[in-house]
Amino acid sequence: MAKAPSETIYVLNGPNLNLLGIREPEKYGSFTLADVERLCAETAAQYGLKADCRQSNHEGELVDIIHEAHNKKAAGIVINAAAYSHTSIALHDAIKGVNIPTVEVHITNVHARESFRHHSFTAMAAFASLTGFGIEGYRLAISGLAAKIGAKSKNP
């Protein structure tokens, strides 16, 4: 039986994250997007939640998915908007517009990288932002989101 919409969190990954495991492994590691999605599903399940994982290289599609999360009454959003974090007012506005608890996550520490990565429009719309923990940041983001929405761990 599928989880009720209120038990669903959306995990959104932006441009080039489909290349995880291939792209710059010295920065992003050897884990793939499938590994990230498995980690998210397992972590969400620990809180009685379902992770609906999506990836798109297209800004408008990510905006549409955020609107879908609202229409389906999602409990929360974890977003790694990748390069769009630093450029997309549209994603900022979508997150603000739907008023769903949102956590931004980045695999690398964007503040230790190029200066153009030091500003994030998505972070400004989220209640929290995690950077630099590798893919473990997704687990931390889901745990933080679960705490924010009052979901309790099913593991003692």
Q: Is the pLDDT of residue 103 over 70?
A: yes
Q: Is the pLDDT of residue 4 over 80?
A: no
Query: In sequence order, what are the residues at sequence separation of 6 or more whose Cβ sits closer than 8 angstroms to the Cβ of residue 17?
Result: 33, 36, 55, 80, 82
Q: Report the pLDDT averaged over residues 98-123.
A: 84
* Catalytic, out of 84, 92, 106, 138: 106
- Cβ atoms 113, 86 nearer than 8 A: no
Annotated catalytic residue 86: no
* Catalytic, out of 28, 47, 84, 138: 28
Q: Measuring CA to CA, which residue among 26, 14, 36 is closest to residue 136? A: 36
- Cβ atoms 67, 94 nearer than 8 A: yes
Instruction: Summarize pLDDT for 13-63 with one digit per residue, the tens.
Output: 999 999 999 987 888 888 999 999 999 999 999 999 999 999 999 999 999
Per-domain boundaries in the chain: 5-149
Which three-class secondary structure state does DSSP give residue 75?
Answer: coil
The pTM of this model reads 0.92
Q: What is the CATH number of domain 5-149?
A: 3.40.50.9100
